[in-house]
């Protein structure tokens, strides 16, 4: 079986973009691949964060992933900073990465603009750490949202560079997208993002979600209830595509174009469809975070041990090929 690697940052609550853009694929694919999923806390500290909150964020994220359907037996879910090989391999990859490659990365430019006061070297180096995350497990399949495709392509370049310079070591990986690889935020402009405050969280209550959906922007040309609308110009329509099945979805579409259904009723249908997906996740989360907290913690610790062993083998191979001493004490 091929190796699958992917990661998610403990920067906030998992939202519909994460779920429909990435996690839904992780749940499906875990049966067909040797699956590693990392809570990437070393990535999360490249933007402003509160140290006191980090342990809870990490555990919450892992628990939410299990609640979303990640299987404790099938997937090795672990915390990145518990496996030192990721940072070690990053350093070695830094030495074969041209600076210009990193400066042109879209995510770097976005986050630099978002966090102007605190741009650090780690933010620039983010894609190199991501390449190390994937390649230390010799990952071949990387299921992500559209915003991460550029980083996966960069990872392929790093593998090519390394192989050409030091001999065949790493496979060439490929990004794998869902049918909805870019979910827009509630603002209807940027992508839904944990750190932008434009998201619907998978653990939010039905009331909290309705409070966000009810005032959300729709087709701006549809001013009055009697005006026909264009679903393709409405954010809520794209949300329907995530959760509302046929034939109800078709009715929503024709109802909008003929002014047969108003925006509030359309939003109510979306809310009802969404709750069918989110109710079971919220219930599983409640169960895991109360009665089974210790089980989650123990599993993360055991998985980190397993990852350290795999990372150790790759590091010994890499160091040997680079002419460095083959010593590794973890
Ligand atoms: P942050 O704002 O802190 O970067 P994020 O919401 O972008 O958080 P990440 O942890 O960076 O979440 O990404 C986790 C996974 O979710 C990645 O595979 C990413 O491509 C995917 N993803 C994130 N946002 C979206 C979105 N709006 N639509 C589709 N996929 C997304
Ligand atoms: Mg992100």
| Catalytic (active site) residue 2 | no
Confidence of residue 189 (pLDDT cuts 50, 70, 90): confident
Please tell me the distance from the alpha carbon of residue 249 to that of residue 245, in angstroms, as a whole number: 6
Residue nearest to atom 7 of ligand 1 (CA): 193
Question: Is the pLDDT at 71 greater than 90, yes or no?
Answer: yes
- Which range, of 93-97, 157-161, 187-191, averages the lowest pLDDT? 187-191
- Which range, of 65-69, 92-96, 287-291, averages the lowest pLDDT? 287-291
Cβ atoms 37, 27 nearer than 8 A: no
Burial 71-99 (b: 16+ CB within 10 A, else e): eeeebbbbbbbbbbbbebbbebbeeebee
Confidence of residue 328 (pLDDT cuts 50, 70, 90): confident
Please tell me the distance from the alpha carbon of residue 202 to that of residue 205, in angstroms, as a whole number: 9
pLDDT per residue as tens digits for the range 209-253: 999 999 999 999 999 999 999 999 999 999 999 999 999 999 999
pLDDT per residue as tens digits for the range 87-130: 999 999 999 999 999 999 999 999 999 999 999 999 999 999 99
Question: Is the pLDDT at 188 greater than 90, yes or no?
Answer: no
CA of 12, closest atom in ligand 1:
3
Alpha carbon of residue 171 to chain centroid:
22
| Catalytic (active site) residue 194 | yes
Averaged pLDDT for residues 130-136: 98
Confidence of residue 327 (pLDDT cuts 50, 70, 90): confident
Measured in angstroms, how far is the CA atom of residue 51 from the centroid of ligand 1? Answer: 21
| Catalytic (active site) residue 293 | no
Confidence of residue 284 (pLDDT cuts 50, 70, 90): very high
% of the chain residues with pLDDT over 70 = 99
Helix (H) or strand (E) holding 303: helix 293-321
Residues contacting residue 173 through CB under 8 Å, at least 6 positions apart: 5, 134, 135, 139, 140, 141, 142, 152, 155, 156, 159
Ligand 1 interacting residues, C-beta cut-off 6 A: 8-9, 11, 17-18, 21-22, 144-145, 147-148, 181-183, 191-195
Global confidence as pTM:
0.96
pLDDT at 197: 87
């Amino acid at each position: 079986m091929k190796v699958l690697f992917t990661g998610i940052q403990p920067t906030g609550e998992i939202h519909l973009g994460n779920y429909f853009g990435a996690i839904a694929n992780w749940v499906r694919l875990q049966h067909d691949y040797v699956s590693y999923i990392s809570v990437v806390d070393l990535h999360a500290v490249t933007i402003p964060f509160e140290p006191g909150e980090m342990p809870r964020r990490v555990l919450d994220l892992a628990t939410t992933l299990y609640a979303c359907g990640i299987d404790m037996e099938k997937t090795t879910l672990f915390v990145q900073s518990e496996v030192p090989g990721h940072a070690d391999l990053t350093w070695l990859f830094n030495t074969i990465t041209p600076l210009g490659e990193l400066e042109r990365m879209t995510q770097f430019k976005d986050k630099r603009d978002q966090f102007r006061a605190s741009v650090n070297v780690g933010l620039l180096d983010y894609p190199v750490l991501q390449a190390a995350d994937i390649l230390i497990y010799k990952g071949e399949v990387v299921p992500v949202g559209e915003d991460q495709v550029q980083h996966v392509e960069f990872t392929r370049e790093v593998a090519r560079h390394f192989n050409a310079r030091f001999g065949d070591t790493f496979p060439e990986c490929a990004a794998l997208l869902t049918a909805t690889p870019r979910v827009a935020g509630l603002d209807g402009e940027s992508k839904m993002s944990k750190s932008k405050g434009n998201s619907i969280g998978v653990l939010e209550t039905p009331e909290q979600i309705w409070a966000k959906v009810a005032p959300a922007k729709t087709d701006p040309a549809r001013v009055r209830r009697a005006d026909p609308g264009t679903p393709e110009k409405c954010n809520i329509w794209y949300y329907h595509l995530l959760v509302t099945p046929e034939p109800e979805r078709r009715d929503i579409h024709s109802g909008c174009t003929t002014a047969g259904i108003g925006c509030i009723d359309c939003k109510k249908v979306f809310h009802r469809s969404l709750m069918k997906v989110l109710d079971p996740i919220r219930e599983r989360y409640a169960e895991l975070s109360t009665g089974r907290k210790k089980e989650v913690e123990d599993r993360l610790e055991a998985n980190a041990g397993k990852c350290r062993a795999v990372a150790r083998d790759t590091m010994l191979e890499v160091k040997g090929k680079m002419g460095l001493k083959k010593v590794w004490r973890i």
